[in-house]
Amino acid sequence: MPTVSYINTESIDYSNFSDFIKYLKKAFPLVHKNLKLELINNYSLLYRWEGSTASSDKKPALLLAHYDVVPADTPIAEHGASPSWDYPPFSGAVEEGYIWGRGALDNKTSLIGILEAAEQLISAGFSPKRTIYIASGYDEEIGGKNGALKTAQELKQRGILLDFVLDEGFTIIEPDIFTLLNGPIALIGIAEKGIMDIMITADGEEGHASMPPKNTAAGKLAKAIVAVEKNPFPARIIPTMKSFLKAIAPEVKGITGFILRHSGIFEFLIKKSFALSPTNNAMIRTTQAVTMLKGSEKENVLPKKASAVINIRILPGDTTESVLERIKRIINDKSVKVEVPEYFDAGNPVDESNLKSEGYKIIEESIHETFPGIFTAPSIVLATTDSRHYKDVSENIFRFVPIRINKSNLKTIHGTNERIKEEDFLKVVDFYKNLINRL
């Protein structure tokens, strides 16, 4: 079902979201008989699976997975053909050993996997020792302020504190992506970068391009952009990255392994090495990327205003306030306005969760049981997730989805032909069963 969320919420067809909720009730009858379901803000799901009174001293755990998705193609039709997809993007086709469709990897698979695990466990007579919440937001792809945020606020208002939260973020990454190891690695996100947009707007004289003034709006904007790009944020090895390096160091061979095992001595080299790769570079600094540019509508007309948007991903240790002040200081031009646009809900980073907590141990043990021989390590999630909205109700937030990601299927996330192997989906269910059994 095309549960597509859009920045322009007027474009959202909420009937698809209602239909999806009806589908869940039909597909998982035991879950809906034994768990209490509440709809928060009409479309966000909050299930409560009551634990036994004997273990009431244990705080509840929350399993999180959003069910909204990004668009597939235009126009979007529930079962309509697409010129670029091998199978219709909202058909849920099971063909060639795969389950096809938008959300197969991001992130409906997690929700369906959690509910299927619960369905099977209930059928087998299982009852959890502690109370378990299952939550699913409907607007994660556009920030989560009407879904996850409202749900988290509701839990906080009720005085409910969670032992830990498990959301999407990292996966099992194959060695064609993570080349330092010879085998796959399961990364568990224990921290998350913040996000903000900064709009820079330059003023100038409008008029005909044949008679330009000395300084045009576009020229001022270009100068500001160059200043920003010439001044990247400094590289920092934050505690989360130190934990990551410590975890992988024994598995890395040769001189690279030696350097990682002595990261305190060779921190300068590690920073230099990480800076060479866009992905690794994003793990050691706040990043800034100029994305949207706007100027004149015609080639021979001088614009009165020229603007650009800088998308910022904030490393823990920086804040939205410090980032904004830094950009203003670098541009240092009173004729260029630097601000956070009204449409954007900026968010600070989520600090590191406790590696020694019971929640992390449960997740790690569940990974090892489901995927024997898989190496695990903590890391920082570079994107934003719904879990950031729950930091007021839990000190421990972890981010892991039990699916295998390689270069081939990575490009299908938010791309065409998104799909998951049938056998991999069964592993998703097994993981959540193993996890729930440990709660």
The DSSP code sequence of 266-295 is: SHHHHHHHHTTSHHHHTTTS-EEEEEEEE-
- The CATH architecture that domain 9-192+349-438 belongs to is 3-Layer(aba) Sandwich (3.40)
**CA proximity to 194, closest of 29, 19, 334, 321:** 321
The yes-or-no verdict on residue 75 having pLDDT over 60 is no
The pLDDT tens digits for 394-415 are: 999 999 999 999 999 999 999 9
pLDDT at residue 77, as a whole number: 45
* Residue 425 token pair: 């989906």
Tell me the pLDDT of the chain averaged across its residues: 94
Q: Which residues pair with 309 in a beta bridge?
A: 199
The yes-or-no verdict on residue 223 having pLDDT over 60 is yes
Mean pLDDT lowest for which of 49-58, 104-113, 116-125, 355-364?
Answer: 49-58
Which CATH number fits the domain 194-339, given the four candidates 3.30.160.150, 3.90.550.10, 3.90.870.10, 3.30.70.360? 3.30.70.360
Q: Which of 54-58, 60-64, 253-257 has maximum average pLDDT?
A: 60-64
The DSSP call for residue 309 is E
pLDDT at residue 343, as a whole number: 81
State the catalytic residues: 68, 140
Cα–Cα distance, 61 to 419 (Å, whole number): 29
The pLDDT tens digits for 283-326 are: 999 999 999 999 999 999 999 999 999 999 999 999 999 999 99
Cα–Cα distance, 404 to 175 (Å, whole number): 11
| pTM score of the predicted model | 0.92
The yes-or-no verdict on residue 80 having pLDDT over 60 is no
Q: Which residues pair with 202 in a beta bridge?
A: 306, 336
pLDDT at residue 178, as a whole number: 87
